[in-house]
Every structure is written in C-alpha cells, then in structure tokens.
Amino acid sequence: MKNLNDLLQEGVAGRTVLVRSDLNVPLNDEGDITDPGRINASLPTIKALVDADARVIVMAHLGRPKGEANPKFSLAPCAEALSEALGQYVALAGDVVGEDAHERANGLNDGDVLLLENVRFDARETSKDEAERGVFADQLVALTGDNGAFVSDGFGVVHRAQASVYDVAKRLPAYAGGLVEKETEVLRTIAEAPTQPYVVVLGGSKVSDKLGVIEALAPKTDALIIGGGMCYTFLAAQGYNVQKSMLQEEMIDTCKDLLARYGDKINLPIDLAWAPEFSADAEKTISGLEDTPEGQLSLDIGPESVKKFAEVLSTAKTIFWNGPMGVFEFDKFADGTRGVAQAIIDATAHGAFSVVGGGDSAASVRVLGLDEDGFSHISTGGGASLEYLEGKELPGVAVLSS
C-alpha cells in the first residue's frame, strides 16, 4: 500500500490531487461546529500537499442527506473551519461534479485548496450499483485533468465501498493519507499483538450493534467491561429488573449465551443512575441492582460501578474503548463516562496503550473536557474501528493495495 510520503517523493507540484477526508462533524441548531476533531485530524495530510504545491480538491460528506442537495448538510461550515485552520482561503464548490466544481477546479493554482460540496448530495455516492458509482467516480476523477492522484484520508468511511472512497481509488494512482495509515497501524497492533492484560470497554445503545465485536474480541481479552444502553439487556439476562431502561428483549437469550461462555471476563455495572424521564434536568437517583426505582429508567452507571471498572483498568497494558457509559450529553449523567475515561487516562499514564475507538467515545472526551493527550490514540472512525477489529475487510483500505 503506497502512502502519502510515496506520493510526495514522486512529486505533486502542479498536479491535482483528490483527497477523501472525513469532515462529518456535529453541528448545533445554528449550524456551528461543536466538535472539530475530524477537521483537525484531516489537516496534516492536506497541509503536506499544500506545502508541496499540489492543487488539492477535498471530497467529504456531512450527515445523511439521502442523495439530494440539502442546505442543512452543506459543507460550508467545514470550508470556513478549514480556511481558518490552514491559514488560507478554502473555496467551496456550489455543487459536487457540476459546472461550478469544474470551473473552480480548472482555476486552481499550485497550493490552492477546493472543497467540493457534500458528495452525498449525489445518490450515486452510496449506490449499491457498482456501475452507477463508477459513472460518478469518473466525473470526480475528471476534475483532476491529466496526471491526477487520489489520497484516501477519511478513515471514518473506509469501511464503505462508496464512490469517493473505493471507486475513485480504482481509477487514479491511489495512496493512503497519513490519518488512514496511522489508524490502520494502531488497530493492527491491537488486533494482532495486544500486550496483556488486554481490557476492552464497550458502551453504546444496542447489543446488536456490538455483537460482532464482542464475539471477535472476547476470546482475546482478559476483561470485557460493558456499560451504556447495552448493559441493561445483559442485566436483564441475569434476571435483574431494569424497569424502563433501554432494552433489546430479542437479544436477552444472546446475552445469556455470551455470559455462559465469557462470564469470567464480562464485567457489568453493580449500581446505576436513574431518572423518572429522559431529561437533562431529571432528578438523579443512585441504586444497586436489587432495589431499582419503580417505573424509572437508567441513564448512566453508578459510582460503585466506576470504581469496579477502574480497578479492572488499572491492571491493563492494552485498552480499547468504544461507546460511552451513559448519556454523557446530560451533565447529571456524565459521571460514568467521565470516571471510566479518567481511569483509562490513569492507566495510560502508568504504561498502558489506550485506543479510543471513535464515534461517541471520541466526542465524549472533548465534550467532557478531558485531556486528549491522556490517551495513546483517539480514532476518527467508530464503525471502521469496530469492523477492523471484528476481522472484516475494509474496502477503502483493501483497494489501496490492489
């Protein structure tokens, strides 16, 4: 697999380089970026190409516009953020492969950066029909003119065979960007040779979303910590009354089976934080598993669970964390996620190699004001990280070696 350094050594001055970045950042109701993590992660590759006098065209998506242009999902905030971060103007094309994109691409000078509008405004980007994706990819490649190149740097999308990730790579000389290269190297280390003891922390809402990674990692780990919404189905499988908490009843038997096979490794909460309704202002109650408040729902793990999990983490030499312990967006119910994250930071300070597996976990680190440098690596791709560790082939990575 060729990388960015290979491309830079070949020379990019005066060449147009298509870069697939992951700029899928969260926006508030006013359209402001609330977590610039993915934009910051995309900067080194873009900056390296700019410094080498390439003409850079960035492709990215935002949200799920379902194949239609929608101002709500415009990349305008990302163009502004990139301009500020790079210290130079980043133009935003008014379309993806239309007249404005072509005019702006043709007008690029060495060291300029152009951001195409949201590639998912075109339904062919995510089409299951390879021929349809291929036509769209051809149109994207046409923006580069002669002697173009492609750099794949959006790790958060490499688990999808989409036009700007997969099909473009089959049509241009293709290289792994610095971010994709670093992410795959880190995950390969965890997947193939984790230093023991190896502890995996999983949260999130549904057992079904994490079943594959549980099955893949449980045999390799020394301990598996489970919190978040998914823990309630496990607790129900143990016979506890989780009241109105999130529950996948159809997964209870699956959880019973997992507990039967890996019960010596699986660590579940021993107390929970409850609320009468799903609200940031709800009154918070802590209880053990035997005396759950009637008719309430749990929105976080409790303090004794945090202590239990922290003790397990204190012995770890390798840690992978994917998924918050509770509704960290509500300050009252952020203690579980904050406490477990701090335990991972403490373990890292004592020599553990820790990876935050993207998604809500990475967002929680920044939302809660935790020290990002306290972790060995924070991934930009939650789904891609999980699929890699499950042993699945990532199309956007595999195509770079074909």
Residue 22, annotated as binding a ligand: yes
The sign of the torsion formed by the CA atoms of 288, 290, 295, 297 equals: positive
Tokens of residue 171, six digits: 């049509």
Burial class (CB in 10 A: 0-12, 13-18, 19+), 376: middle
Query: 235 vs 201, 231, 322, CA distance in Å?
Result: 16, 6, 19
Residue 107, annotated as binding a ligand: no
Q: Rounded CA gap, 230 and 210, in Å?
A: 9
Please give the backbone phi and psi of residue 5, each rounded to the nearest 5 degrees, phi first. Answer: -60, -35
Residue 159, annotated as binding a ligand: no
Query: 27: which strand partners?
Result: 33
Contact 190/216 with Cβ under 8 angstroms? no
Residue 94, annotated as binding a ligand: no
No. of helices (H) and no. of strands (E), the chain: 14, 15
Residue 110, annotated as binding a ligand: no
Tokens of residue 232, six digits: 């309630």
Contact 327/300 with Cβ under 8 angstroms? yes
Residue 24, annotated as binding a ligand: yes
Q: Can you give the length of the chain in residues?
A: 402
Residue 120, annotated as binding a ligand: yes
Residue 302, annotated as binding a ligand: no
E-strand spans in 131-284? Answer: 149-152, 174-176, 198-202, 223-226, 266-267, 271-275
Residue 358, annotated as binding a ligand: yes
What are the catalytic residues?
38, 206, 359, 383
Residue 64, annotated as binding a ligand: yes
Residue 6, annotated as binding a ligand: no
Residue 360, annotated as binding a ligand: yes
Q: Rounded CA gap, 75 and 70, in Å?
A: 10
Burial 75-94 (b: 16+ CB within 10 A, else e): bebbbebbbebeeeebbbbe
Burial class (CB in 10 A: 0-12, 13-18, 19+), 339: buried
Please give the backbone phi and psi of residue 322, each rounded to the nearest 5 degrees, phi first. Answer: -140, 110
Task: Count CB-CB contacts under 10 A for residue 188.
Answer: 12
Give the residue ranges of the annotated binding site for ATP.
210, 329, 358-361
Return binding residues for (2R)-3-phosphoglycerate: 38, 120, 160
Q: What residues form the annotated binding site for substrate?
A: 22-24, 38, 61-64, 120, 160
- Which positions make up the binding site? 22-24, 38, 61-64, 120, 160, 210, 329, 358-361
